[in-house]
Amino acid sequence: MNRLHKIINGIVWLIIGVLGLYILGYGIRGRTLSRAGYACVKILTNAEGSLQNAAAKCLYPGLAFAAGEPEASSGFDETLIRKAMGIFPLFSFMDSQELYETETESAVTYEILIQGGAHDENEINVQTGEAFDIAEKVEEENLRAAQEEQEALEQARREQEAAAQAGLQETRDGQAAVQSGEILGTEYTLEQLSDFDFLKNNFYIVESNTDISSDLLNAEKLLGMDMTMKQDNSAPQILIYHTHSQEGFVDSVPGDNSTTIVGVGEYLTELLRDTYGYNVIHNTNVYDFIDGELDRNQAYTLAAEDVEQILAENPSIEVIIDLHRDGVQEDTHLVTEVNGKPTAQIMFFNGLSFSKRNGPIDYLQNPYIGENLALSLQMKLNCEKYYPGFTRKVYLKSLRYNLHLRPKSLLVEAGAQTNTVEEMMNAMEPLAYVLNQVLKNP
């Protein structure tokens, strides 16, 4: 502020000096001092306004522009002020600059900015439309939060059920429920399940990126869909494979596939073949280990190519199971007790090809979303009936996960990295039993 005062004072004194010369000129030309004094006062009066305008434009260009440009003046006072202010470089610079108003972005530009502001938690392969699993760590963060909430709600129920099972086990003659078909849990009525909020809140976790409507999650429609096997076992009926074949457990042996999810899938295959008589293909090809390193970027794409070839060679296959294990925090142990044995809990998983932000994902077409949901819901309700506490809530996500390859496609997350191989193997027994309950002809 002191510097501003000095600048203005300097200008004033410069003007006074020039005016002195002006008055002297009047006298030299024979003009009276009174007329010269009158001219001086007039010039000073006009100069004051011009000086104020010049200072405002120099120091506050925005306000000067908003107030409007004063009318141009060609008087002596204006010329005098401009000559004086020209001495100061800041004024000269500001006076030479044209004020302008910034243009707003177009609607198209604005939409691009909005679209680029956030990404889905899953990156998408533009060529294939499938998920990049490199985003799986982010997905697991969301899943962990949902799991913690679910586990808190289910803890009391698990304790009660474990106590009830323990009491029943003492009087049981040793024959497992998996053989006897004994109902230990809850059979839900259609009236209960027809309440959309009851169904959604009690049996599903919906990822934040997606959503599901009552038209799609309609218990009457889903339970009315016939999921039974139509082909006999003279040709392949079921395909089991592993998009993530390298998933292991707390006591897996490095290099020993029988102690990974592949070994668990082989035991499920044996149960379905030997105990229930299905014709099963177990595809053990690797899709997530490339050039000696774990790489899941193209796992779903590579798996889809193989599965499509297997289906083309075996069109009789009706059921596809992609068997995974989950990833959870190291202090989380997904275990319950089934038939007196420690058993890893499982979770059914559905992709909806639907983004909450953008609606249906057209490049991830799945004509079988309804059938996929019907199979997982029927599996879930049978688990609640025969093995309460064995399953977690069905998880709904926004993408597709190769569930479009057959109407009866199932993605199963069995246990997690904190489970033992024994707990995982034990989980395949109730899973096979329930699958047979859904698939077998009446």
In this prediction, residue 64 carries a pLDDT of 54
- Look up tokens 């005062």; give the residue: 5
Domains of the chain (ranges, CATH numbers): 2-96 (no CATH), 132-439 (3.40.630.40)
CB proximity list for 235: less than 8 A, separation 6 or greater: 279, 314, 316
Q: Which residues contact 260 (CB under 8 A, 6 or more apart)?
A: 245, 246, 247, 248, 249, 252
Please write the tens of the pLDDT for every residue from 388-437: 999 999 999 999 999 999 999 999 999 999 999 999 999 999 999 999 99
Residue at token pair 């292991």: 248
pLDDT score for 293: 83
- 8 A C-beta contact, residue 242 and residue 250: no
Strand 131-132 versus strand 123-124 pairing type = antiparallel
* pLDDT-based confidence at residue 343 (cuts at 50, 70, 90): very high
pLDDT band at 176 (very low <50, low <70, confident <90, very high): very low
Q: Residue 170 corresponds to which tokens in the numbers above?
A: 């003492």
Is residue 240 over pLDDT 50? Answer: yes
Indicate whether 360 pLDDT > 60.
yes
Q: Would you say 413 and 347 are in contact if contact means Cβ atoms under 8 Å apart?
A: yes
pLDDT exceeds cutoff 90 at 295: no
At 252-282, the pLDDT tens digits run 999 999 999 999 999 999 999 999 999 999 9
Kindly state the average pLDDT of the residues 119-138: 45
**Per-residue pLDDT for 152 more than 70?**
no
Taking alpha carbons only, the member of 242, 243, 253 closest to residue 421 is 253
